[in-house]
Amino acid sequence: MIAVRKIARGVGNIELQDVPEPHASSGQVVIEVNSAGICGTDLHIYLDEFETRPPVTIGHELAGVIVELGRDVEGWRVGDRVTTETYFSTCGRCLDCRRGRRNLCVHRRSIGSKEEGAFAQYLLTPASNLHRVPDGLDLEIAALTEPLACTIHGVLETAGVRAGENVVLAGPGPIGLLALQLAKVAGATVIMLGTHFDIKRLKLAKELGADAVVNVQEVDDVVESVRELFGSEGADLVVECSGAAAAAKTLVDLANRGARFCQMGLYGKPITFYQDAVCYKELVVTGTNASVTSAWPKALKLLAQRQVDGSRLITHRFAIAEWDQALETVKKKEGVKVILKPGLA
């Protein structure tokens, strides 16, 4: 089968290669990939800002159908519609694993970076990582379960957005637009910030429920504009989803005293901003690293019930062989979520 692979560390080094089809050992299943989303992480892998163990097939956001079961797999059948968590293995022995925080295990080997990933026709995964896709939820939209689970972990479970709060999000990419919908489901008032590059995405943010959107390059004073929109209040929670240093600075300025700062985006390099504000304002800064199991059933439920509208986020579909065009689309920030579909010729 053909697969999109990182063949060596360094910028680029991504190629289409022919690799053997996987087979399931004990406790594993093979999934035929229906849809696999391109993530910001894949872009960081392209730029070599994210650790990989090449040669390895990339891609970690997927949904598909089980086509092969290994020995000792119970509760699953060939033909089941599924999505899979991304940790191929964690050590099971370290303090983080034992505390149920597998996402923080330093020995974590995730699909799409250290183990074979989803930008191929077939994917091998431990059966213990599977989640059933509810009837009526399209497999293409179910490929958004992973980014939504990450966002649920960051925004709902860790930063704890609550009803009645003022929330400012920076970066209307896939994660930002998912965070926006979660904050609205939670009952917050939400303002989305973007730049000239984001005109279309800001429009979409409005359609997906943002109370207001602000192009930071169009206003003289972002802090003043946002306060006005909130009825002369600041933000109780700010969420950085852009991975742009300037956004971090703006969000710290926008945060109320005692507010929470939630970091979702990756900058890919060290950045500087006025950290003393964390003291003076008593900001609570929360980080988020991938997802935890508890977020997955919630993600599937929110997508199935359309409380989070996944369909509006998927803007481009490409065949595996068109991966470079797909990556280019992501790089140029055209559209929102770009999906690779092995079934497309």
Q: Is 39 in the site for Zn ion (CB under 5 A)?
A: yes
Q: Is 225 helix (H, G, I), strand (E, B) or coil?
A: helix
Q: Which of 94, 186, 266, 284 forms a contact with Zn ion (CB under 5 A)?
A: 94
Judged by beta carbon, residue 105 or residue 180, the one nearer Zn ion is: 105
Judged by beta carbon, residue 97 or residue 283, the one nearer Zn ion is: 97
Number of residues that bind Zn ion (CB under 5 A): 8
Q: Which of 105, 130, 137, 327 forms a contact with Zn ion (CB under 5 A)?
A: 105
Q: How far is the CB of 194 from Zn ion (least distance, A)?
A: 20
Region of 97-105, 165-173, 190-198, 236-244 interacting with Zn ion (CB under 5 A): 97-105
Judged by beta carbon, residue 39 or residue 193, the one nearer Zn ion is: 39
Region of 45-53, 143-151, 321-329, 331-339 interacting with Zn ion (CB under 5 A): 143-151
Residue 40 in tokens: 């910001």
Q: Which of 3, 66, 69, 97 forms a contact with Zn ion (CB under 5 A)?
A: 97
Judged by beta carbon, residue 150 or residue 237, the one nearer Zn ion is: 150
Q: Is 338 in the site for Zn ion (CB under 5 A)?
A: no
Judged by beta carbon, residue 61 or residue 240, the one nearer Zn ion is: 61
Q: How far is the CB of 173 from Zn ion (least distance, A)?
A: 11
Q: Is 244 in the site for Zn ion (CB under 5 A)?
A: no
Region of 147-155, 181-189, 218-226, 277-285 interacting with Zn ion (CB under 5 A): 147-155
Q: What are the E-state strand segments in the chain?
A: 2-6, 14-18, 28-37, 56-57, 61-69, 81-84, 87-89, 109-110, 122-126, 130-132, 166-170, 189-194, 212-215, 235-240, 255-263, 284-286, 314-318, 337-340
Q: How far is the CB of 293 from Zn ion (least distance, A)?
A: 14
Residue 248 in tokens: 């971090």
Judged by beta carbon, residue 54 or residue 117, the one nearer Zn ion is: 117
Q: How far is the CB of 255 from Zn ion (least distance, A)?
A: 26
Judged by beta carbon, residue 104 or residue 186, the one nearer Zn ion is: 104
Region of 28-36, 119-127, 145-153, 204-212 interacting with Zn ion (CB under 5 A): 145-153
Q: Is 58 in the site for Zn ion (CB under 5 A)?
A: no
Judged by beta carbon, residue 65 or residue 91, the one nearer Zn ion is: 91
DSSP 231: T
Judged by beta carbon, residue 217 or residue 294, the one nearer Zn ion is: 294
CA atoms within 13 A on the CB side of 305: 10
Q: Give the pairing type, strands 61-69 and 28-37.
A: antiparallel
Whole-number Å distance between alpha carbons of 83 and 143: 7
Instruction: Encode 24-47: b = buried (16+ Cβ within 10 Å), e = exposed.
Output: beeebbbbebbbbbbbbbbbbbbe
Q: What residues from 276 to 315 belong to the interface with Zn ion (CB under 5 A)?
A: none
Q: Is 266 in the site for Zn ion (CB under 5 A)?
A: no
Whole-number Å distance between alpha carbons of 3 and 24: 18
How long, in residues, is the chain? Answer: 345
Whole-number Å distance between alpha carbons of 26 and 16: 29
Whole-number Å distance between alpha carbons of 295 and 289: 13
Q: How far is the CB of 163 from Zn ion (least distance, A)?
A: 28
Please give the C-alpha separations between residue 8 and each of 22, 87, 311, in angstroms, as whole numbers: 21, 21, 35
Q: Which of 1, 65, 67, 91 forms a contact with Zn ion (CB under 5 A)?
A: 91
**Closest by alpha carbon to 243, among 50, 85, 51, 7?**
50
Which positions lie near Zn ion, rule CB under 5 A?
39, 61, 90-91, 94, 97, 105, 147
